[in-house]
Amino acid sequence: MQADVENTAPDLLSLLRTATGPSHERLDASFGSLDLSRRGDLVRFLAAHAIGLAPLFPVFRAFVEERLGLDCPDYPAMLAADLAALGIDGDALPALEVPRQIAPIGGEAGVGYVICGSRLGLAMIRQRGYWGEAEGFRSAYMTDGRGHEAWKALVPQLRGQRATPAAAEAA
């Protein structure tokens, strides 16, 4: 019976796409209200990424390095440097707790999916441009393209895994 359930279960990529879809739409709508050609909105965008990424990054880094076998770019350091260049003290930003949903085994894949996926979104934003390019500011976080490599390594792994009840709960 258990084998039948696992054989008909969706792959982990499909599960994560479905589970994170509504949150992704809300996040896109929130960030969509920002005009990244304006300095203040770019600062808000980078600060929001720094706040949201900070509690997830240790899990993400371990996942990328141990499960995907890749070097993990230090996105928090890039964000801190970008914000400092814009006159913002990253240490003064609010800190979030690590969501308890990522603590169970299996939550790491979801964190990898969300952060790697966000790097794809940044690639599209880079193409449209953002404030500072004409003023000599070049965001290390916005221009880092290594997330695509992690995404390409992640997708086959997620497609090859069946979504177990534990994975569904972690998603």
Q: pLDDT, tens digit, for every residue of 154-168?
A: 999 999 988 766 555
Q: Give the model's pLDDT for residue 58.
A: 93
CA dist., res. 48 & res. 45, Å (int) = 5
Cα distance between residue 43 and residue 139, in whole Å: 11
The per-residue pLDDT for 168 is 56
Q: Quote the CA–CA distance of 59 and 99 in Å, as a whole number.
A: 11
Instruction: Kindly state the helix (H) or strand (E) to which residue 29 belongs, with its residue range.
Output: helix 12-32
